[in-house]
Amino acid sequence: MQLIDRALCAPGRNVFIYGDRGVGKSSLAATAAYQYQSVDNVPIVVGGSPDESFDSIIANIANQAMGFSRTTSIKEQSSISLEWRGLKWQQGREVSAKDVKDQLKTIGDAVDLLHEVGRTHSDRPIVVVDEFDTIPEMQERNRFAALLKALGDREVNMKFIFTGIGRSLEELLGAHQSAYRQLATIEVSRLGWDARREIVIQAATELGLNVNDDVNWRIAIVSDGFPHYVHLITEHMIWQAFDDDTDCNELSHEHYQLGLREAIEQVNVELKRPYEKAVLHRAPEWEDLVWATADGEDLFRQSADIQSSYQAITERRKSETVVESKKFSESLRRLKMDGYGAILDAVPQRQGWYTYREKMLRGFVRMQAEASGVELNGELALQRQRMRVAASVRSGYREARVPRGVGLRDDKK
């Protein structure tokens, strides 16, 4: 938030927030936008999608600025209006993307329209373009790079925050280097241990509840650092406590197990489908194998390490059937195929190394294993969640380590 706030204070500077799915990019963008936006209006929020183009998003920005909602059927007229090249926007009245497209011949035309939008909207307007990566055409995304440069050159009173799934800004925006000067890039990574635990504690405290410390560590481990999973599990744990027949003072092991199962049911179908393709209607050993790929904290793992995890899981479960050692590598390779959910990707230039194609899926796999009584390891420490910093100054941050022996069933052994 501090980096974003300082970036938006600079003339002509905009923000690009990127990272894996589920790490909190949209929430961060929305929070930053409301903090920057002046009180005379609300931020303009538009979303990318496979059928959106540069022109349609510019039209949507103008419509959102005038208070148009695609879900509102009752048209309310207002004295607030915007006229540009024969097109007229009023509150509750949409101007079609086709009409706008007919007028948007150049990037300069888009700059002219946004200048008028910003002047009409508020004293300090800001636009959030969420899920920018879903715009399929690189050529269309490149036009936004050119737009940002032109907005800065013309000193237009409007700021942009983009969010997108990606490993780098170049992957999302292309090699339009001249636009990078107008962008502060914020990479959002998975949450550190302290941040994961604080979410649970804060939610419980607000409702007058304590949290079993062992349960809190299990949530931190199984969530794999994705705030979406931490929130989802905690939410359903609290509902389980709400449904208790007697007064509840603490979120317990039982609440956790019941809440975890409910959370799994609520996970997006896009994450469920690859897992189901890998394990449903297959021999039992496939589920053990998939769970083994999500063991530990390392995102990049050797085949031999995964095999060690697999052996530990099968011994713990006393599995009747196992993948033969000589066929293990072949089975792992199958998990890269679409027919097996395309869960894994090979690591370039590192033979026998694998990573998850969709990092957030790894957390879902961990949740599935946990709900079945298999507690996957997550023993490595991560730095306290503040911001990405140079390695030379990381020693200034406190680390939280998972206590040895953390497990839901220790008290039953």
Per CATH, which fold does 268-380 belong to? Arc Repressor Mutant, subunit A (1.10.10)
Q: What is the DSSP letter of 132?
A: G
Give the model confidence (pLDDT) of 233-275 as tens digits.
999 999 999 999 888 999 999 999 999 999 999 998 888 999 9
Q: Where are the domains of the chain?
A: 2-71+83-188, 268-380
Q: What pLDDT does residue 171 have?
A: 66
Three-class DSSP category at 83: strand
| Chain CA centroid to CA 412, Å | 36
Name the pLDDT band for 203 (thresholds 50, 70, 90). very high
Residue type, 129: V
pLDDT at 311: 92
Backbone angles phi, psi at 216, to 5 degrees: -60, -40
How many beta carbons lie within 10 A of that of residue 253, not counting itself? 15
Does pLDDT of 143 surpass 90?
A: no
Residue 69 has pLDDT above 90, yes or no: no
- pLDDT band per the 50, 70, 90 thresholds, residue 77: very low
The residue-averaged pLDDT of 116-132 equals: 92
- Average pLDDT on 87-111 reads 78
More confident residue, 104 or 235: 235
Q: How much is the pLDDT for 181?
A: 73
pTM: 0.77
pLDDT at residue 411, as a whole number: 42
How far apart (Å, rounded) are the C-alpha atoms in residues 246 and 364?
32
Q: What is the mean pLDDT of residues 108-129?
A: 92
- Where would I find the beta strands (DSSP E) of 256-312? 301-302
What CATH class does 2-71+83-188 carry? Answer: alpha beta
185 vs 407 pLDDT, higher one: 185
Mean pLDDT, residues 21-43: 93
- CA-based nearest residue to 238, from 213, 263, 220: 263
